[in-house]
Structure 1
C-alpha cells in the first residue's frame, strides 16, 4: 500500500501525541466518570449502554468469574504458576484452555436461542420453535444441548435464577427479554422425560443475558473469557503466594493408568 497509515483501520481508538480518544471520547473524560463495565461496552459494542444494559452485562460478568480449581482453565493456570512462569503467562495458560468444550457453550447456546426466536418471528410459538430447533439439534449432536445440565450443580445451578431475575426485571426496550422465556422453554423441553428438571447452567443463563443485549454468539464466548480471566488471575496469584514447584494434575503418589504392553 502506498500509505502505510492505512495498514490498520479502526473505529475504536484515535491517538495523537497527547491525545487518546476511545470511540470519539477523550480518555480523560472517561477516567473516573464511567465504570469498567460501561468501558467494556464502549470498546466492544460502541456508545454508552443504558443503565439497565449495563446492569445486565455486569450481572453476567460477575456470575461467571470462577468455578474452582477443578475447572481445567483454573487448574492449568495454577499448575503454570508452580513452573516458574510470570503471572501473565499463568493467566494466558488458563485463558487458552477456554475452547468449544470448556468455555464455548455460551456461544453455542446464544446461536441456538437465536434460531428459536427466528422461528418465533415467523409465527411459531416459543414452545413450537423450541421443539423444532432443539429437537433437530439433539438429533444432530447426540442429545447434548449447550447451556443445560451440570455435573456438579444438580438439579439447580445457583447462578441461573438470579441472572434470569435481573433480565426479567428490565424495562428497556433495547433489551430483548424474550430470551428469558426461551431459555426456560428449552429447559422444559430437554427435561420432558426426566424426574427432575435439567439445570440451566451458567452458560445457558448468561447466554440469555448476552442474547437479550443483542451480542453476537461469538461475543458471548469472548465475554465469558473476559469474566473467567478474573478468576484465573486470582487463582494464579494465590498459587504464587502458596508456593509449590512443578505441581501436576495429581499428587505424586497417584499415578496414571498404564495401558501399554507389559
Structure 2
C-alpha cells in the first residue's frame, strides 16, 4: 500500500472516515472559530494569523474583488454565460485570463520589492536592471483609468501604516513602494502613484507571503467579482454576446478583392 499512499504527499490535509484535519487542526475546531481570510492563510502557509494580521490581509482581498465589465476577465465571464456556460465554467474561463499581463502585476511587484529590499545598490540602478529584464513597465504603479490616483491604494497604504505603528508589520515594504513612487515621479516629471497591484503587493510582502502566492491571492479575490458578474448576466439573459454591440465592426486591415 505504501506505493499508493506515498504517490501523493501533503502537509495540508489528513483525512480518515469521520476525521478531517487541516494543517493539524480538526475541521470542527476551525468552523466558527476562524475567519475565511485566516483559513486562506492557514491553508496556504500553515499557522493561524493574529486578528491584526488577518484584518490587514482581508483588506487586500476586499480591495481587489472587481473592476467592472471592461476588465477582460470579467468580460469573459459575462460572455461565457451568454454562450451557455454554467457559473463554474464562466469562472474558470475568467480566471484562466489572469496571467502575466492581466493579473500578474501583484506578483511582479512583490518580486521587485524584495529585490530592492535585499540589494546593496541605488534604487535607480535596480529599476534600470528590472527594465532591462522585464521591459519598461514597472509593476504596481500608475493606472490607465484611475488618474491621478487609484482610490484603493491610499486606503490600503494607510492601513499598512497603522499596522506598522502597532507592530503588526514592519512598514519596510511600504517605504520601498513610496521610494519607487518618488523615483518614477522624478523620471516622468509628474506623479506615478502606486496602484491596487502595488498596494496589495505591499500588504502581501509585509505579511510574508511569497511572490507566487500574491497572484493566487489576487485570483481568489477577483473570483468574487467574476462570480457576481457571471450570476448577474445569468439573470439578465442574452445569447452569444460578443465584446461589442452587433452594430459595431472591427477595423479590417487585410487585402481587398481585386476588381476584374
TM-score higher than 0.5 here? yes
CA distance in 1, matches of 2:2, 2:41: 35
- 8 Å contact 1:154–1:199 — kept in the other structure? no
Q: Which runs of 5+ in 2 are unaligned?
A: none
Q: Spell out, residue by residue over 1:220-240, the C-alpha distance to the aligned partner (whole angstroms, 9 max, x if none).
A: 101101100000000000000
CA distance in 2, matches of 1:14, 1:174: 31
1:147 is the counterpart of 2:140: yes
State the partner residue of 2:115. Answer: 115
4+ aligned runs moved over 4 Å, structure 1: 171-174
- The aligned runs of 1:49-68 (5 Å cut-off) are 49-68=49-68
Partner residue of 2:235 out of 231, 238, 241: 241
CA distance in 1, matches of 2:185, 2:242: 38
Identify which range, 232-241 or 133-142, moves more after superposition: 133-142
1:190 is the counterpart of 2:184: yes
TM-score, normalised via structure 2 length: 0.94
* Offset, 1:136: 2.0
State the partner residue of 2:13. Answer: 13
State the partner residue of 2:34. Answer: 34
Q: How many residues align?
A: 255
CA distance in 2, matches of 1:176, 1:146: 22
Identify which range, 136-145 or 208-217, moves more after superposition: 136-145
* Offset, 1:83: 0.7
- 8 Å contact 1:177–1:212 — kept in the other structure? yes
State the partner residue of 1:74. Answer: 74
Rate the CA distance shift 1:141–1:9 in 2: closer, same or farther, 3 A. Answer: closer
- The aligned runs of 1:216-235 (5 Å cut-off) are 216-235=210-229
CA distance in 2, matches of 1:140, 1:19: 49
State the partner residue of 1:170. Answer: 163
1:138 is the counterpart of 2:131: yes
Q: Spell out, residue by residue over 1:38-59, the C-alpha distance to the aligned partner (whole angstroms, 9 max, x if none).
A: 1001100111101221111101
RMSD over equivalenced CA pairs, Å = 1.5
- 8 Å contact 1:13–1:24 — kept in the other structure? yes
State the partner residue of 1:259. Answer: 253
* Offset, 1:170: 1.3
* Offset, 1:149: 1.2
* Offset, 1:141: 3.6
Q: Which runs of 5+ in 1 are unaligned?
A: none
State the partner residue of 2:196. Answer: 202
CA distance in 1, matches of 2:134, 2:96: 25
Q: Spell out, residue by residue over 1:135-193, the C-alpha distance to the aligned partner (whole angstroms, 9 max, x if none).
A: 22234444210111111001100000110111111146563320001001101111113
TM-score, normalised via structure 1 length: 0.93
